[in-house]
Structure formats: structure tokens, C-alpha cells
């Protein structure tokens, strides 16, 4: 709010001195999965983009973000069609992608059209190995592996069973996590499953009777987490901790499954109870004003990347170079940000953010989520050993 008042005051001073304040409308394309199996994540990501636009409007009252939204219906082919449609509408930049197999073809289409594409959803290593000059992501697989391995190491876990979907992104993360745990002396047993699997009792039973690991790690998506946790609640393997990756530690999961989530760990961005972090307070206030609820993990990460994009648009416009080919991408590479909801961000030559390390949260019995790792961001100490059942 202080920054908003400063921006408005500056505009007033310039106007009173007879100096013009350049105003611009930035047309930004949004390609997300708003229907289909990825709709829960896609809609929350869209909420984050909208919240970033609201905050931008307060910080830069002379400018306006115009969001042009196309639903990809959770399919790669329609994601490409969505990007092509947005390109026809002359958008300046795009925000999109929920999972890697949609983000990949969508960002390829954006690159072909010469339009910068930013995402909080394409975490697979393949995303940054394609030589695209205008692709940017804020989170990545190595950062999630660092988050989960760091948490397990801090808890003193000696063995872990890793249950993971055989999709590309989840398989990639499972392999990287296994390698990091092995380097730390933590034994692992791998349990891949087909994305079509609904009954997880056979896998959980193996963990109970054969693995007897201290921790069960889930690398999957929302519906998979629910199925795995339900199977574990029935079979009660002798674990000390249950840890998940992305899209797990959210207020909506706590509200929808209060019997499954207490004491479970998962990657998150903010604790439920916002502290004194000015960026977190600004985000939370804007999100609640629009949606009358707490934000999910997906909204928080998409807000972070969208805010970086919108600020870069304003700076490039102010420099008078926005219309020049490659200027916006160059500004994103040049600037980054020291303070975002996810910590410091810098984009390397591949458009990756090597600074990213996932924050790990833990559900409490009342539905709250505390950050418990890394220590620099922790809002509470972890409960361990501790299980939902």
C-alpha cells in the first residue's frame, strides 16, 4: 500500500509540473486449463494471474493489464490452438501451462510466434533444454527435490518409499529425489504407478509389509494424493512421516479432506497465517479482496511469475523499447527480483530460475499450514513422528 501511494504521488507531481506520464495498456494472453482434469489447478493459477493484475493496477495506476483468456481444456493440442489464437489477438506476452506436457507444446507455439511465455507449471528439465529464447519458469524439478530432501534430512529420516506417477514431470522429480536421498545416505524404494490407477492399496500394502520405510513420499497430483492417503489410512503402514510434492499443502485440501491431511508435509509457498512479510501481506489482501478466501499454492506461484512479467512490461514500456523484438525477454533475463513470494528469482540463459528451492509446509489438525523448512522461512517446528491417522 505504501508503494501504491508513492506511485500515485509521483504521477501527481509529474502532472502538476506539466510533464506527461506515459500510460499503456498491456495485452497479456492467458492459456490455462480451466476445464478438464487439470481445472482445479488451472483455475487457481488463473486466480493468481488476476491477483497480480490487481496489485499491478494499484502500483502502476497509469497502466492497465488486459488479460485475454483461452481455456486449453487440459489437452496439449488445444493448448497449442489456444496460444495460436492469442497470437492472432496480438498479445504482448503469455502466461500459461499447468503441467509440463501442456506447457511444452504451448511454449513452443509461443516461441514460434515470437511472444515471451512465462509459467509456474512446467517443471520438467526438458522445458529448459530446448533453446527457447523467450521461455521463463519460476519453479523447477531440482528445486522441489532440494525442498523434499532437505526436509527429510532435517527430520533424520533413514529410509523412504517414493510413490510417483509415471508422467514425465513426476518421474523426473522422483529420479532426482532418489539421487539426492542416496547422496545423503537415505535408503529409497521406488513405486511408480500409471496415471489411470485409482486403487493405491496394493502399493501401500507393499510399503507396510515389505519396505517398512520411515517415510512415504508422494510425487503426483491432487486426486492421486487423496487416493494414496485414503489407502494409507485404511492399511496404516508403520511410517513416521508422509511427504508430498506440489499441489498438496493448500487450504482447499485441508478443508476438503480434514481426516487425511493433518501432519502431512507438502511443498507450499506461504503459511496459512501470514506474518510480517510485506509481499505476502500485499498478495493476501488482494487475493481475499477478490476471492473472499485464502489462496492455494497454485495461485501463489502463478502470482509470483505474473508479477515479475507485469513489472517487466512496465519497465520496458518506460524505456521505450517494448515494441522492439526481444526487448521484453531481455528485461526478464536482466532484472529478476530479490524479493518474491518464492524468494530471490534470477532467470538464466535457459529461462530457468536456479535459485528456486521449495518451501515445505505441514498441515495442522485445525487445517492451518506452517512452513517448517528451510529454517530461514520456517514459521513453526515440524511435528515428527506424526501421521494423519
Q: How far is CA 181 from CA 228, 339, 363, in A?
A: 22, 29, 23
d(CA 314, CA 356): 24
Cβ atoms of residues 164 and 192 within 8 Å: yes
Question: Could you check whether the bond before residue 374 is cis, i.e. omega within 30 degrees of 0?
Answer: yes
Nearest in space to 272 (alpha carbons), one of 347, 187, 370: 370
Collapsing DSSP to helix, strand or coil, 260 comes out as coil
What's residue 366's pLDDT?
Answer: 95
d(CA 96, CA 306): 10
> What pTM was estimated for this model as a whole?
0.89
Domains 2-141+276-335 and 142-274+359-377 agree in fold:
yes
Name the fold adopted by 142-274+359-377.
Answer: Rossmann fold (3.40.50)
Please report, in tens digits, the pLDDT of each residue of the chain (389 residues total). 444 444 444 444 433 443 344 678 999 999 999 999 999 899 999 999 999 999 999 999 999 999 999 999 999 999 999 999 999 999 999 999 999 999 999 999 999 999 999 999 999 899 999 999 999 999 999 999 999 999 999 999 999 999 999 998 899 999 999 999 999 999 999 999 999 999 999 999 999 999 999 999 999 988 999 999 999 999 999 999 999 999 899 988 999 999 999 999 999 999 998 888 888 999 999 999 999 998 988 999 999 999 999 999 999 999 999 999 999 999 999 988 888 999 999 999 999 999 999 999 999 999 999 999 999 999 999 999 999 99
d(CA 173, CA 298): 18
Q: Where are the domains of the chain?
A: 2-141+276-335, 142-274+359-377
How far the first Cα of the chain sits from its last, in Å, is 43
Nearest in space to 37 (alpha carbons), one of 75, 76, 81: 75
Name the fold adopted by 2-141+276-335.
Answer: Rossmann fold (3.40.50)
What's residue 338's pLDDT?
Answer: 82
User: Running DSSP on this structure, what letter comes out for residue 47?
Assistant: H
What's residue 247's pLDDT?
Answer: 86
Amino acid at each position: 500500500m505504501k508503494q501504491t501511494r508513492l506511485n500515485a504521488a509521483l504521477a501527481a507531481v509529474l502532472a502538476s509540473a506539466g510533464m506527461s506520464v506515459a500510460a499503456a495498456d498491456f495485452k497479456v494472453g492467458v492459456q490455462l486449463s480451466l476445464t478438464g482434469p487439470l481445472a482445479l489447478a488451472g483455475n487457481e493459477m488463473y486466480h493468481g494471474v488476476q491477483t497480480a493484475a490487481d496489485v499491478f493496477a494499484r502500483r502502476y495506476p497509469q497502466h492497465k493489464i488486459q488479460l485475454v483468456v483461452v481455456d486449453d481444456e487440459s489437452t496439449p493440442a488445444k493448448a497449442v490452438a489456444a496460444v495460436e489464437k492469442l497470437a492472432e489477438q496480438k498479445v504482448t506476452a503469455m502466461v500459461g501451462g499447468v503441467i509440463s506436457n501442456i506447457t511444452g507444446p504451448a511454449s513452443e507455439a509461443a516461441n514460434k510466434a515470437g511472444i515471451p511465455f512465462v509459467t509456474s507449471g512446467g517443471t520438467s528439465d526438458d522445458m529448459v533444454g530446448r533453446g527457447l529464447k523467450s521461455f521463463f519458469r519460476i519453479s523447477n524439478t531440482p528445486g522441489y527435490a532440494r525442498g523434499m530432501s532437505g526436509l527429510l534430512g532435517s527430520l533424520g529420516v533413514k529410509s523412504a518409499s517414493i510413490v510417483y506417477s509415471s508422467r514425465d514431470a513426476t518421474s523426473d522429480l522422483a529420479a532426482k529425489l532418489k539421487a539426492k536421498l542416496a547422496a545423503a545416505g537415505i535408503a529409497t524404494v521406488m513405486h511408480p504407478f500409471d496415471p489411470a490407477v485409482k486403487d493405491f492399496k496394493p502399493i501401500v500394502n507393499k510399503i507396510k509389509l515389505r519396505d517398512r520405510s520411515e517415510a512415504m513420499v508422494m510425487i503426483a497430483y491432487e486426486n492421486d494424493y487423496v487416493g494414496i492417503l485414503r489407502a494409507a489410512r485404511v492399511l496404516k503402514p508403520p511410517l513416521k512421516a508422509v511427504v508430498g510434492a506440489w499441489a498438496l499443502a493448500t487450504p482447499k485440501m485441508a478443508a476438503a479432506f480434514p481426516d487425511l491431511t493433518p501432519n502431512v508435509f507438502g511443498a507450499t509457498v506461504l503459511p496459512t497465517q501470514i506474518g510480517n512479510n510485506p509481499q505476502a501481506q500485499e498478495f493476501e489482501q488482494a487475493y481475499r479482496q477478490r476471492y473472499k478466501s485464502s489462496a492455494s499454492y497454485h495461485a501463489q506461484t502463478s502470482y509470483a511469475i505474473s508479477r515479475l512479467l507485469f513489472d517487466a512490461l512496465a519497465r520496458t514500456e518506460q524505456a521505450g523499447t517494448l515494441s522492439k523484438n526481444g526487448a521484453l525477454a531481455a528485461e526478464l533475463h536482466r532484472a529478476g527480483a530479490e524479493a518474491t513470494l518464492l524468494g530471490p528469482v534470477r532467470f538464466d540463459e535457459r529461462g530457468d530460475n536456479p535459485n528456486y528451492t521449495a518451501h515445505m509446509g505441514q498441515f495442522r489438525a485445525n487445517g492451518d499450514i506452517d512452513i517448517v523448512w528451510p529454517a530461514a522461512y520456517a514459521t513453526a517446528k515440524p511435528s515428527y513422528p506424526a501421521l494423519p491417522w
